[in-house]
Structure 1
């Protein structure tokens, strides 16, 4: 479960067993969780975050999108 970024209380990561899904990033804080598709950026799943916090997370995903995509493709290209 590679962690790509830690920012404030958020952890951005992906699961190493999800190579057949489109690129995405999971975000956790405490017992809350969300998943965003990376291209285009779109909320895929939310467990507990309110709308205001989701907008903040989406903004963080947008500002780190290129890095997240690079790490995603590097990891899964090398794991085959």
Structure 2
């Protein structure tokens, strides 16, 4: 499920996932996974540069509430 797209990144969930809230991010350059709780933290990174990771973290912080709401709607309801 795609949550949102911005700056060439797609932020999404897979339908069958572990319980800890997280979001996957894919771009033309790579893919990463970030934990959303208890803090925003990169869990895995495949080919995103340090600059891209900083941008991804910034976007997650900006949209954190919307991402968590989407997670709850998708997985907990």
User: Which TM-score band applies after superposition, normalised by the shorter structure?
Assistant: over 0.9
| Runs of 5+ unmatched residues, structure 1 | none
Pairs within 5 Å for 1:1-80: 2-18=1-17, 20-39=18-37, 40-78=39-77
Q: TM-score, normalised by structure 2?
A: 0.93
Cα RMSD over matched residues?
1.0
Offset at 1:53? 1.0
Runs of 4+ in 1 over 6 A off after TM superposition: none
Q: Deviations over 1:1-20 (max 9, x none)?
A: x00001021100010000x3
